[in-house]
Amino acid sequence: MPRWWTRIPAWLRSRDPELAATRRAARTALVMPALFALCTQVFHSSAMATFAAFGSFSMLLLVEFTGPTVQRLRAHVGLAVAWLLLIFLGTLAARESWVAVTATVVVGFVVLFSGVVSSVLAGASTALLLAFVLPVTTPAPLSQLPERLAGAGLASAAALLAVSLLWPRPTADPLSAPAARVCRAAAAQLRTDASHLAAGADAPGVRRCRETADETAVAAADLRTAFDGTPYRPTGLSAGSRALVPLVDELTWLSTIVADSAPPSGGHPVCDPRALVVRRAAASVLERTADLLDEPRGSPDALRVGTARLRAAIGRMERSATALLPVHLPGPSTEPGVRAFLETLDMSFRAQELGFATLQVADNVDLAAAAERRSWPERLLGLEPGGPGRPLAAARERAVAHLRPNSVWLHNSLRGAVGLGIAVTLAVLTGVQHSFWVLLGTLSVLRSNALSTGQNAIRALGGTIAGSVIGAGLLQLIGRHGTALWFLLPVAVLIAGIAPAAVSFAAGQAAFTITLVILFNIGQHPDWHIVLLRVQDIGIGCAVSVLVGLFFWPRGAAAAVDRALAEAYTGSARYLAGAVEYAVGRCGVRPTAADAPLEEGREAAAAARRLDDAFRSFLAERGAKPVSLADLTTLVTGIVGLRLAADAVLGLWQRASELHTGTDRAEARLVLLSAAGRVAGWYRDLAVSLAGRSAVRDPLPPDPAAEASLVDSVRRDLRDANGRASDTAVRVIWTVDHINTASRLQPSLAAAARPGETG
């Protein structure tokens, strides 16, 4: 074989690493020509042939669902039903021009905006829009509707068979493997740190702790890269998907906690045996969690036994921590003495923080695995461990979260809907022969900002012209031998599917143009004039996209990211303050049954999702970035630490059992409120700075007076009848520690928020 031929597979894998585009293109090259031949040569229906060809092209080339086989088949069935419904609506709307324009705007917005609910819908948005664009731009009598539906039905049936029989996609979840590696690396680090702390300080032990810490950091970075590397947030409505997506933030937070709790390079902290037990129990749970991530259908018994032991170990440590505080000794009068008093609980606090984060990770993985273990009928009916109403509730929550003026997803949906509406209007007014090409041109180049749209428009026109020239040349060479087009069609479809991923967007446009030239000349005398119409229609569509991009949020995600950051920090600061207020209510003279700040938590999570979508759009935009990507990533991940610190405070006080009520506790409550107010206020000011309305404040300095007041209140107001520190005293100190954890993020965030001070 020629040397160049043997190099093709290696070249393909270098451009298409998992051969995802090649797999889709190969299926489509087999199915689409076969259906087109069946409808034209056997059924003799051009309408059926058109909808079968574009239906198979859409369902096999434009989408590829992930997950287990049953889940993928369910998604394809849903796509098939949606195609039939949209063809019906498009055929009805096409009868009146104003109805066609109005319906296109409405359907376009609904389809594009529904992607915020699930990555399945987001990935299928182009395929769904094609199902409506094709009939609405080709008016026909209602008598032709059955043929159109039959063609789409054939395409749907063929797609179901193809995805399950022709080169099936691997079922591995893209997040499971890197998440399992983080769990194992963190478990190894916890065991190494615990052994080092138990054995005493030695240079080899410190070196090994650093090595395992580096391995955990690398694994966490790989997970974050895999998560951020998709154009859409990989969220589905299934219980498994809902559980795995928060897992990324939780593991990022866990890796940070593990790094912060590593033994110091100098000196040796006082060993707390109960804290070491918690560390080892957390390591065991993380190992069982990794096993369940690798084998989701495996038994969860080992994980559940491990989490029960971890909860018991945390409970014993929390009770024993009351004996560690030296409240029976004279009070410290110097700042170092105050710090030494508070640091008595430092090791147990780190262990409690690690245990809480580990339990969150384990519970989410257990839920995801329970969803994977459902029977086939349960999967088919959509019955989930979280209850039948959970998917609808999740969908409603996600949609409402993005119905905000500053939502990038809302901007993109409105921009796309208006662009399609204008394209339909121009197609009707100009009377172009193949008006759906105008809408295809609009869709293919419309991006989140005007610059990206303009660049894509140039590439689309260049690719279309190149494809038209090649297509015209082919038609001239073929002449009257039209049968040759049947042999060229599969090759053209294959290249059209591979070219965008392996070569470029312009190459994909050229190959797609050649495919359409061949498709519309099969069965008739080849006519190269059709290529001129293709260039004209694509030019109109590109012009519409550029126009819409210039008038609707032309700056794109770059402008929206700052606003989303400001909103996310404001919401997370409010959530932290609410969690501390809940703690204050629980540790008063008469503990109140105050409601937990669950609504603030939901709002903070919704703001974080909007930020994630804006950040992904920013990463996807072409051209030079107006801000440092490293600084922006630091600011985005800072939201995770702030929000999950609030989660930890809330969880700490929600499981409080003993609430001693014999003393006033007023000073302790004031210390908590003051500390939370300072930190939350700094983050609110950071939000104002990110919105461009003020300079960035310096990080907060330590507050020795507040620490001294906290120690005094612990010694005076938070002791039980036996003179020992109460459980509430321990929780108060740990709450301040959680607040300080959020405060330690400030130096890196302040540096990242100041342009020019960092890379």
Domain 559-753 -> CATH class:
mainly alpha
State the DSSP code for 594. P
Which of the residue ranges 36-45, 446-455, 624-633 has the most confident prediction, judged by mean pLDDT? Answer: 36-45
- Whether 557 shows a pLDDT value over 80: the answer reads no
Q: Encoding tokens for residue 742?
A: 């959020």
Higher pLDDT, 167 or 272: 167
Amino acid 399: pLDDT:
81
Stretch (H or E) spanning 562:
helix 557-586
Q: How confident is the model at residue 350 (pLDDT cuts 50, 70, 90)?
A: confident
Give mean pLDDT, residues 668-697.
88
Amino acid 756: pLDDT:
46
Cα–Cα distance between 681 and 458 in angstroms, integer?
Answer: 48
pLDDT digits (tens, 9 = 90+) for 50-68: 999 999 999 999 888 876 7
Query: Mean pLDDT of all residues in the chain?
Result: 81
Name residue 266's amino acid: G
Candidate from 94-103, 337-346, 349-358, 564-573 with smallest mean pLDDT: 337-346
pLDDT digits (tens, 9 = 90+) for 534-548: 677 778 878 887 888
Q: How confident is the model at residue 31 (pLDDT cuts 50, 70, 90)?
A: very high
Give mean pLDDT, residues 567-572.
94
Cα–Cα distance between 297 and 152 in angstroms, integer?
Answer: 36
Virtual CA dihedral for 530, 534, 536, 542, nearest 10 degrees?
Answer: 180
- Whether 622 shows a pLDDT value over 70: the answer reads no
Q: Do the Cβ atoms of 356 and 651 come closer than 8 Å?
A: yes
Candidate from 366-375, 568-577, 655-664 with smallest mean pLDDT: 655-664
Closest CA to 662 of 584, 723, 734, 710: 723
Cα–Cα distance between 458 and 469 in angstroms, integer?
Answer: 17
Q: Do the Cβ atoms of 714 and 733 come closer than 8 Å?
A: yes
Cα–Cα distance between 481 and 521 in angstroms, integer?
Answer: 11
Candidate from 128-132, 437-441, 524-528, 615-619 with smallest mean pLDDT: 524-528
Residue 734: phi, psi to the nearest 5? -65, -35
Q: How confident is the model at residue 646 (pLDDT cuts 50, 70, 90)?
A: very high
Closest CA to 649 of 732, 590, 720: 732
Q: How confident is the model at residue 396 (pLDDT cuts 50, 70, 90)?
A: confident
Q: How confident is the model at residue 333 (pLDDT cuts 50, 70, 90)?
A: low
Give mean pLDDT, residues 499-509.
86
Burial string for 34-63 (b: 16+ CB within 10 Å, else e) reads ebbbbbbeebebebbbbbbbbbbbbbbbbb
Q: Could you give the angle at the alpha carbon of 195 between the alpha carbons of 189 and 201, nearest 5°?
A: 105
Residue 719: phi, psi to the nearest 5? -115, 150
**In 3-state terms, what secondary structure has residue 270?**
coil
pLDDT > 90: percent of the chain: 24
Cα–Cα distance between 741 and 352 in angstroms, integer?
Answer: 13
Residue 307: phi, psi to the nearest 5? -65, -35
Question: Looking at the chain, which residues constitute the CATH 1.20.120 domain(s)?
Answer: 559-753
453-457: Cβ within 8 A, 24+ apart: 453/545, 453/546, 453/548, 453/549, 454/546, 454/549, 455/622, 455/623, 456/505, 456/545, 457/542, 457/543, 457/545, 457/546
Cα–Cα distance between 609 and 627 in angstroms, integer?
Answer: 21
Q: How confident is the model at residue 757 (pLDDT cuts 50, 70, 90)?
A: very low
Name residue 440's amino acid: L
Q: Do the Cβ atoms of 56 and 31 come closer than 8 Å?
A: yes
Residues 6+ away with beta carbon under 8 Å from 56? 28, 31, 32, 35, 155, 158, 159
Q: How confident is the model at residue 730 (pLDDT cuts 50, 70, 90)?
A: confident
Amino acid 330: pLDDT:
60
137-140: Cβ within 8 A, 24+ apart: 137/94, 137/100, 137/424, 137/427, 137/435, 137/436, 137/438, 137/439, 138/94, 138/435, 138/436, 139/94, 139/95, 140/47, 140/91, 140/94
Residues 6+ away with beta carbon under 8 Å from 409? 113, 115, 116, 402, 610, 613
Distances (CA, A) of 360 to 242, 250, 251, 646: 14, 7, 9, 14
- Whether 571 shows a pLDDT value over 80: the answer reads yes
Q: Encoding tokens for residue 207?
A: 């070196």
Closest CA to 329 of 754, 714, 741: 714
Amino acid 456: pLDDT:
77
Amino acid 759: pLDDT:
35
Q: Do the Cβ atoms of 742 and 642 come closer than 8 Å?
A: yes
CB atoms near residue 677 (< 10 Å): 14
Amino acid 323: pLDDT:
73
**In 3-state terms, what secondary structure has residue 719?**
strand
- Whether 567 shows a pLDDT value over 70: the answer reads yes
Amino acid 266: pLDDT:
57
Closest CA to 179 of 233, 231, 216: 216
Closest CA to 176 of 252, 256, 241: 241
pTM of the model as a whole: 0.79
Higher pLDDT, 531 or 174: 174
Amino acid 111: pLDDT:
92
Name residue 540's amino acid: I
State the DSSP code for 17. T
β-pair partners for 725: 719
pLDDT digits (tens, 9 = 90+) for 429-476: 877 666 777 777 777 777 666 667 777 778 888 888 888 888 878 877
- Whether 490 shows a pLDDT value over 90: the answer reads yes
Cα–Cα distance between 618 and 627 in angstroms, integer?
Answer: 10
Cα–Cα distance between 600 and 570 in angstroms, integer?
Answer: 11
Burial, 495: exposed, middle or buried (Cβ in 10 Å; 0-12, 13-18, 19+)? buried
DSSP string, 284-345: HHHHHHHHHHH-TTS--HHHHHHHHHHHHHHHHHHHHHTTTS-TTSPPP-SHHHHHHHHHTT
Residues 6+ away with beta carbon under 8 Å from 106? 417
Higher pLDDT, 2 or 546: 546
pLDDT digits (tens, 9 = 90+) for 256-268: 888 877 776 655 5
State the DSSP code for 143. G
Residue 725: phi, psi to the nearest 5? -65, 140
CB atoms near residue 141 (< 10 Å): 8
pLDDT digits (tens, 9 = 90+) for 183-230: 999 999 999 888 877 776 555 567 787 888 888 889 988 888 877 766
Closest CA to 51 of 145, 136, 141, 151: 151
- Radius of gyration of the chain, Cα coordinates, nearest whole angstrom: 30
Which of the residue ranges 229-238, 290-299, 321-330 has the most confident prediction, judged by mean pLDDT? Answer: 290-299
Cα–Cα distance between 401 and 517 in angstroms, integer?
Answer: 44
Amino acid 34: pLDDT:
95
- Whether 158 shows a pLDDT value over 80: the answer reads yes
- Residue found by looking up tokens 């640091």 in the block: 343
Assign a CATH topology to domain 176-381.
Methane Monooxygenase Hydroxylase; Chain G, domain 1 (1.20.58)
Candidate from 150-159, 554-563, 587-596, 624-633 with smallest mean pLDDT: 587-596
Question: Looking at the chain, which residues constitute the CATH 1.20.58 domain(s)?
Answer: 176-381
